[in-house]
Structure 1
């Protein structure tokens, strides 16, 4: 029998074999033994082969309630950090027969729209990075899809599992390094993003610096872009009062903008002002001098996130404990007034 011009369906196979669609499902799903005869099973297989029929595995998975697909939601794709998170998550997922779809939320850290007609039907679970749990309401829906939050407030996760980098320790390492060099007057170039992870950076930095008498810290907010950081840092460094000798940036892109501001003011890094970042992106070693920053293992972060989601799906408790981070000291920091 010649195949039809359109893709054959299980109904076509059933008609060709003279059996019900239920029988076709049993045979092609290899569940026919004891339920249909060997002769009927052979007839179904021959009809499927003659028609060129291939089962729709996605549709079958949907009927079973398991798509083996998870969604990774990120606020943006403006740095390679989130690419690393995806790479790590996808590697673990592939080892367990899952696929990972990457979804940069159109609203950034705000409420994420459901990218499907029904995420509950299309997905087994969600991993969300650097967002609040209530931003995922539209995606999780009434069925409350299993959710793992990365880089998010554990106390505000609405019952979701959380996986975090030890950002607080990273900031402490930065402060300890700069204080040991002798810096006492600081400018914090803070990300202008209302996110838990940036609140942690500000809070821990202020606490660490306040523990040493004679230190001062001013804060300037900037969007996470090189131009935004340039504008904010230049204005802050030009304001009245003693000039800071150390500039602590919430991430490496902000630090790159700060470099440009320092040079436009006729100053030098680190001779006149030390600069630090956080992330250890590729840009950290592309600028001159190379940037002192905190290394975050984005791929390990993604791996742990996927492992946590697998644990939730299997009814297990995810691995506890924050992922360690490491200060990488390069040429952008030196004692104040160093030649």
Structure 2
């Protein structure tokens, strides 16, 4: 049973005081407050130590401990330019888990949105404990990756030899659900409005869509590429919807931004969504429910991806095994999809 906390100790306690109040050794206090107790100390004992530290107002000397361990307790999160809320949500999840473990997160968007980014530190190896990076910024900080820092990739190729772990939303599963939804509605002429970005995540989307649609005879799939922007999506959709030959009855867009452009194109051409053409997105941004009709899309749990990514990185930093894992996704069916009309045919 923990001892009563002496009033005189509040705010100026030492680890020895915490040990006495919790009824444990100083070594146990160090394990618990250093977050190295799992498998060595019972959860009940760990709770008693944390409770005693809170009651005493004890704050470990983090600077001295970090110097002793050779750590900065700082993690770099590399993402594309923050043009959508998705990566802001990733940051929120990562920062929450980091704070729970006494780590800070430096957010570094790749200046060009995708591709290489400059090292933001004079010596990242000396300034960081690890890196989390999105596949859309996979070329970023190549020098740092080569320096042996722990690296966790998000939404990235699991076979990436440079990464210690990957954390991926089930991108392929999400796109398969989109295809199955449209096929069940009766769509057979489908155009993929594909992001014109050379990234693992978009290659997976294209492959999963083609595979799913290819299982149903008579289905025709066309691909039209577009940069990631509303106006780029609008122009691409206008090319498809006003081009020669039978128009598609459904547009499958690689993200909600492109889908917003597709809906804009349909209105400009005098077409109705979903009466004349169905439209789907990917991500489930706030924009998806702001459109009229609201957008059928795949919900990616961005905060959970960020949280899992940080948990995986902390495991690597502490020498524990981490396989990252795959995060389930959800198809959210809204008003932008319906059966093809008799006038347009399947």
Structure 2 length as normaliser, TM-score?
Answer: 0.78
Look up the match of 2:326: 322
How far apart are residue 113 of structure 1 and its match? 1.3
Look up the match of 2:123: 118
Aligned pair 1:303/2:303, yes or no? no
Aligned pair 1:104/2:109, yes or no? yes
Aligned partner of 2:224 among 209, 220, 231: 220
Q: What is the aligned-residue RMSD (CA, Å)?
A: 2.1
Look up the match of 2:290: 286
Look up the match of 1:78: 83
* Alpha-carbon distance between aligned partners in 1 of 2:335 and 2:105, rounded to the nearest angstrom: 38
Look up the match of 1:174: 178
* Alpha-carbon distance between aligned partners in 1 of 2:149 and 2:112, rounded to the nearest angstrom: 20
* Alpha-carbon distance between aligned partners in 1 of 2:143 and 2:234, rounded to the nearest angstrom: 36
Aligned pair 1:250/2:285, yes or no? no
* Alpha-carbon distance between aligned partners in 2 of 1:200 and 1:316, rounded to the nearest angstrom: 29
How far apart are residue 60 of structure 1 and its match? 8.1
Which deviates the most, 225-234 or 62-71?
A: 62-71
5+ residue gaps, structure 1, are 1-28, 31-55
Cα 1:77/1:287, change in 2 over 3 Å = same
How far apart are residue 169 of structure 1 and its match? 0.2
CA contact (8 A) 2:78 2:137 kept: no
Deviations 1:34-56 (A, max 9, x none): xxxxxxxxxxxxxxxxxxxxxx9
Aligned pair 1:139/2:135, yes or no? no
Look up the match of 1:163: 167
How far apart are residue 107 of structure 1 and its match? 3.5
CA contact (8 A) 1:271 1:338 kept: no
The 3-state SS of whatever aligns with 1:186 is strand
5+ residue gaps, structure 2, are 1-13, 16-60
Structure number with bigger Rg? 1
* Alpha-carbon distance between aligned partners in 1 of 2:295 and 2:275, rounded to the nearest angstrom: 14
Look up the match of 1:16: none
How far apart are residue 132 of structure 1 and its match? 6.1
Aligned partner of 2:242 among 235, 238, 242: 238
Deviations 1:227-283 (A, max 9, x none): 111111101211111110010000000000000101111100000000000000000
The 3-state SS of whatever aligns with 1:322 is strand
* Alpha-carbon distance between aligned partners in 2 of 1:203 and 1:83, rounded to the nearest angstrom: 27
* Alpha-carbon distance between aligned partners in 1 of 2:79 and 2:247, rounded to the nearest angstrom: 37
* Alpha-carbon distance between aligned partners in 2 of 1:257 and 1:330, rounded to the nearest angstrom: 17
* Alpha-carbon distance between aligned partners in 1 of 2:233 and 2:107, rounded to the nearest angstrom: 28
* Alpha-carbon distance between aligned partners in 1 of 2:290 and 2:105, rounded to the nearest angstrom: 31
